[in-house]
Amino acid sequence: MQPVKRQAFVVGLTGGIGSGKSAAADIFAESGAAIVDTDRIAHALTGPGGAAMAAIRAAFGDGVLTGEGALNRAAMRALAFESQDARKCLEGILHPMIREESEHQCLAARAPYVILAVPLLIESGTYRERVQRLCVVDCPEALQVLRVMQRSGLEESQVRAIMAAQVGRAERLAAADDILDNGGTIDALREQVAGLHRRYLALAATAKGL
Ligand code: ADP
């Protein structure tokens, strides 16, 4: 008899840069959810000896590698900025690998439900089909700018340029099943996550026919 493939109940977590996705994911994790984070997966794939590095080296040469054999992010960013073909080529290597690894981690997760954190979930299109529910972390744009400037030391214009390349706040909110308002304190975020955690436990149990 074929083993029944376990289907995880997957909640997509997204939001603009600096909205508080990582903060929210950390609180979901403390509550007992499994976290699958596509940013973290991309980092691992492009770290020293990462699974994507052979293909990246073959496509772009040693110039985009660090001494340890990891992706030299600054060099790659400069290349991708100059050439749309280079950016497309890098995405062509990384996106299928990220997709496959995140699917694998969702299926392997041993938790009542999975939070699949994808910064550009709405922009990427296909991830929407892979999640049963979509949770958007939201805060006013001025606060996003401030938080990213404090976190990274970027200039306001640089943060605004990144935000301009992302889907707008209204479109993101329109796509959401659930919204975490992170315009307040971390404690206020924590309280909202606790409420959603209870809801997701119930939804996951129903989805599994428990
Ligand atoms: P994202 O993952 O969406 O880019 P983060 O979770 O990293 O955003 O949050 C951006 C920055 O703002 C981080 O330095 C984080 O510690 C801080 N931060 C997030 N939420 C709050 C909050 N409610 N109050 C104060 N600082 C916050």
- In which element (H, E) is residue 164 found? helix 156-164
Among the ranges given (78-87, 131-140, 167-176, 198-207), the one the predictor scored with the smallest mean pLDDT: 78-87
- Does 165 have pLDDT greater than 80? yes
User: Binning pLDDT at 50, 70 and 90, where does residue 124 land?
Assistant: confident
- The predicted pLDDT at position 2 comes to 52
**Section 202-210 average pLDDT:** 84
- In whole angstroms, what is the distance from residue 44 CA to residue 46 CA? 5
Amino acid letter, 167: V
- Higher-scoring residue by pLDDT: 34, 128: 34
- In whole angstroms, what is the distance from residue 150 CA to residue 200 CA? 32
Q: Which is the closest atom of ligand 1 to the Cα of 24?
A: 6
User: Binning pLDDT at 50, 70 and 90, where does residue 184 land?
Assistant: very high
pTM value is: 0.92
Mean pLDDT, the chain, integer: 93
User: Is residue 185 lining ligand 1, measured as CB closer than 6 Å?
Assistant: yes
- Could you tell me the distance, in angstroms and rounded to a whole number, from the CA of residue 113 to the centre of ligand 1? 23
- Could you tell me the distance, in angstroms and rounded to a whole number, from the CA of residue 30 to the centre of ligand 1? 16
* Parallel/antiparallel/unpaired status of strands 34-37 and 178-181: unpaired
User: Is residue 208 lining ligand 1, measured as CB closer than 6 Å?
Assistant: no
- In whole angstroms, what is the distance from residue 210 CA to residue 201 CA? 11
- Does 84 have pLDDT greater than 70? yes
Q: Which is the closest atom of ligand 1 to the Cα of 186?
A: 23
- In whole angstroms, what is the distance from residue 12 CA to residue 34 CA? 12
**Section 159-167 average pLDDT:** 93
- Chain segment 26-36, per-residue pLDDT in tens: 999 999 999 99
- Could you tell me the distance, in angstroms and rounded to a whole number, from the CA of residue 132 to the centre of ligand 1? 25
Instruction: Give the domain ranges of the chain.
Output: 6-33+112-205, 40-110
- Does 5 have pLDDT greater than 60? no
> Helix or strand or coil: residue 203?
helix
Site to probe by mutation for ligand 1, drawn from 13, 14, 21, 22 as the one with most ligand atoms within 8 Å of Cβ, is: 22
What proportion of the chain, given as a percentage, has pLDDT over 70? 96
Nearest protein Cα to ligand 1, atom 19: 20
Q: Which is the closest atom of ligand 1 to the Cα of 183?
A: 23
Whether CATH 3.40.50.300 fits 6-33+112-205 = yes
- In which element (H, E) is residue 137 found? strand 133-138
User: Binning pLDDT at 50, 70 and 90, where does residue 209 land?
Assistant: low
- Does 8 have pLDDT greater than 90? no
CB 132 within 8 A of CB 205: no
Q: Give the number of residues written for the chain.
A: 210
User: Is residue 18 lining ligand 1, measured as CB closer than 6 Å?
Assistant: yes
- The torsion defined by the Cα of 116, 53, 124 and 20, in degrees rounded to 10, comes to 50
User: Is residue 151 lining ligand 1, measured as CB closer than 6 Å?
Assistant: yes
Q: Which residues contact 145 (CB under 8 A, 6 or more apart)?
A: 18, 156, 159, 160, 163
- In whole angstroms, what is the distance from residue 153 CA to residue 162 CA? 14
For residue 48, how far is the Cα from the chain centroid? Answer: 21
